[in-house]
Structure 1
Amino acid sequence: MYLRRLAPAALLISTALGLAGCGGSAAPTTAGSTPAGSPGAPSASQSPSPTPTPTAAAKVFTQTELAAIVAGLKDAQGKRLTAIPAAQLEEGIAASKEVMSGVVITPKACAAVADSNAQIPPGSVFAGGTSESTTVRAVTAVTLVAFKDPEVLAKNVESSVANTKKCENFTVEMQGHKFESTTEILAVPTNADASFASLSTQTMPDGEKLVTVVVMGASGGLSATAVATGPDVTKGSAPDMARMVDDALARAGT
């Protein structure tokens, strides 16, 4: 099966999870956490700043609920996705981090982008699933990431756009092999509050090209990312990835 040649399912899905958290960082500092006596702490003679209007509470999801949403999605062939067990997802994320530790990216500025792509907001809940095409060499992966602060997920989408613009062309060296990578932003709309789409092409050492289309959207406290990857993937896969993102968010009620 081509899926096995491309990557283990858990590793593939963890890559998509990284994209869902693209540009993310540790959870933001909460109000009142500035240590007393630090430059940012008000003195006794200062009037405290007005309390900001709290962000509306995001809908809370369990991993089981997210997995059920993923299992209800269908790929371009109308085939339902196969949900990946949580334990395998955790293993895939760990494997992805280990792989990234041995990767050399040129220019170096793009290495920081790759590192940020491995970030998922601490305390988030996630689930994912995959399907493999029976007619072309392509694999589809969808991941859902739920987090208590919707602004964090929305900013991750914004960061994805900025990171892609900074690193449209770079080289990846891994396990003695060199891959040339190019990325472009796609104008693919979704129904999400914030969305992003891109097409990346990696040229393998043997000259074969691996194409990856990513569409992600965030609404409320949920981010959905749909990824199609393989030698036969084209830009034409983007609308279908957007459909899956919209379907996931609609099923979640966000």
Structure 2
Amino acid sequence: MNKLIKDIIEWDVRNWSKSLNYWLEETSLELTDRNALEIGSRNGGLSLWLAKQGCKVTCSDVNGPSEKARQIHQKHGIEHLVQYKGIDATNIPYENDVFDIVVFKSVLGGIGHNNNKDAQFKAINEIYRVLKPGGELFFAENLVASPFHSFLRKHFISWGENWRYLSIPEIEEFLNPFSHKHYFSTGFLAALGRNEKQRDILGKIDNLCINKITPSKWKYIVVGLAKK
């Protein structure tokens, strides 16, 4: 995989990067010159991707994006299309109907830490509020996945018990205000890799066979698009 995709996705690139083609295929918007917001950006990967599509992007995280985000954006020559903000997704400091696109990846679980489903609801409602009529939410999020994943998270991931993973029915529930929504789930073995090389090998196996035979609710990533 090329360096641009790695800078955009960072972790389990093979599975999470499926979101990028999906959003391009499913969006009803022409992305050039659109006003976009990335929530929970950390290193600004999806802001990089949106800017590469020609969007003007607000790259945000609760305490502001990392310095690495700025460095990556400068490396790829898109920093002139990006502004950086500290934004709490449960209280987005913009008026209604501002953005054409809001995007996030692996964010709701952290917002819902310590089983705070209400905070997750509030974040989605805030995203809906700041989207323009006809605007779109692009999302990729961690799912509850299989009992095996739940066991490993509980016993081997330091933050696994505090992160509030979503179920497919909850995705439906959260997206209820939107006029149109569609999504798919992917990824099973790759989440078990200890480094990116291992995750890439396991991701290949996911794509060759495991994704085809594993129930949707057992996969660990959900990717989708919702239209206001």
Q: Which has the higher strand share?
A: 1
Q: TM-score range with shorter-chain normalisation?
A: under 0.3
Question: Which structure: larger Rg?
Answer: 1
Q: TM-score, normalised by structure 1?
A: 0.26
Q: Which has the higher helix share?
A: 2
Higher relative contact order (CA 8 A, sep 6+): 1
